[in-house]
Amino acid sequence: MLREKKNPYEIDETVYKRFKQKNNMLFRRLWDNTLATYQKMIDTNIEKHIESKKEGYSRVDFALVAAGWTVYERFPNAFTWERKDLIDIGYGVNWMKSKHIIENSESFTKAIKKAAKFYGASLVGIADVNEKWIYKTGFKRPNEISEAEAKKGVREGKAADSIYDQPIELPEGIDKVIVMGVEMDEDAISTAPAQPAAAASAIAYSKMAFIISCLGEFIRNLGYRAIQCGNDTALSIPLAIDAGLGALGRNGLLLTPEFGSRVRICKVFTDLPLTSDQPHLEFIEKIKDYCKNCFKCAEACENNAISKEENPTFTPATISNNPGVKKYYVDVEKCFEFWVENSSDCGNCIMVCPFSKIKEFLSPLEFWNKT
């Protein structure tokens, strides 16, 4: 067992293996018949919730959530590994074919970060690609097909298991990753676990799709390669930590100094010659100490999915946790059971975390009435 010099993790190299995405709960619910949530999804209880007339669970609330996913689900160019065709949209294409000469990596890195923020990222950092975080196998979306189309068969349970168990290898020369955080709406998250909080998550996913589409094309217009990713292809949290965006919290999520866990993460892998950031070691140490004595997220979790151990461990809670890293493991089976019951993701562990910096906690009705 060794503590790697260049990164902030304690990794047991004899145990750690690249993650198989089929073990992610959203895929496991499709094939693992030992789960209470086998073949269930968050739509299971929606009509029951709507009929209950409970505040924050009305048809209007669910409409807000589902519509928030629109760009993420429907836009075919969101998650592509390469540009299929060079289409002239009125700016010509010849100038896009050669490689832009980058004379100064540091100043160009500033330009890339500027572009990422310009397209809508709240946070951006750069890291060297660490192969450990790339999925060993996973779902590879066909190029230029929307998420909804690509996953239709999978979601209906009609696709072969091999569809979400394909080998994942980044092409040679792709050695940098631009990692971005997208802030989730503070007021909406404050209503967790009601549906406006799920809508904050949904719209952040759609913003991710928008941002990486534009940033990927920006990079390709300069003659370099861009692989646009959401949660696919690689583990986003360690990439974000490597890129200096924050630390891993007890809640199993990235905590950032700016927004705590109130962010969604997306990334673009590239062969651009960028200057990497360093992990934010000072913040990582701060979170390590803070989470030891703060159990707010664990206490707020309705299904006791979050560890109440004082110290992080090497003991995973389920096969959906990738073993070999010392951390607080979250029992994501229990978490997903609550999602199915709640008819959406939940967000309690984001809402209560002091690092999320929520100034005012609103009821769903107050959320809708706030102008």
Give the residues lining the site for ligand SF4 (CB under 6 A). Answer: 249-251, 255, 290-291, 294-297, 300-301, 303, 305-306, 330, 335, 338, 346, 348-349, 352-355
In the complex with ligand SF4, which residue's Cβ is closer, 177 or 330?
330
Closest approach, Cβ 219 to ligand SF4, in A, equals 33
Closest approach, Cβ 192 to ligand SF4, in A, equals 8
In the complex with ligand SF4, which residue's Cβ is closer, 178 or 300?
300
Question: What is the DSSP secondary-structure string of 289-347?
Answer: HHHHH--HHHHH-TT--B---SS-BS--SSTTS-SSB-B--B-HHHHHHHHHHHTS---
State the DSSP code for 177.
E
In the complex with ligand SF4, which residue's Cβ is closer, 306 or 362?
306
Closest approach, Cβ 103 to ligand SF4, in A, equals 43
Closest approach, Cβ 72 to ligand SF4, in A, equals 19
Residue 218's Cα: distance from chain center in Å? Answer: 22
CA distance 157 to 34: 16
In the complex with ligand SF4, which residue's Cβ is closer, 219 or 284?
284
Sign of the torsion angle spanned by Cα atoms 138, 109, 93, 71? positive
Longest Cα–Cα distance of the chain, Å, equals 62
In the complex with ligand SF4, which residue's Cβ is closer, 189 or 353?
353
Q: Which of 294, 120, 150 is nearest to 213 (CA)?
A: 120
In the complex with ligand SF4, which residue's Cβ is closer, 265 or 305?
305
CA distances, 266 to each of 97, 207, 335 (Å) = 26, 10, 22
Closest approach, Cβ 156 to ligand SF4, in A, equals 25
Is 260 strand, coil or helix? Answer: strand
In the complex with ligand SF4, which residue's Cβ is closer, 44 or 221?
44
End-to-end CA distance of the chain: 54
Residue recorded with tokens 């998250």: 189
CA distance 341 to 347: 14
Tokens of 278: 């360093």
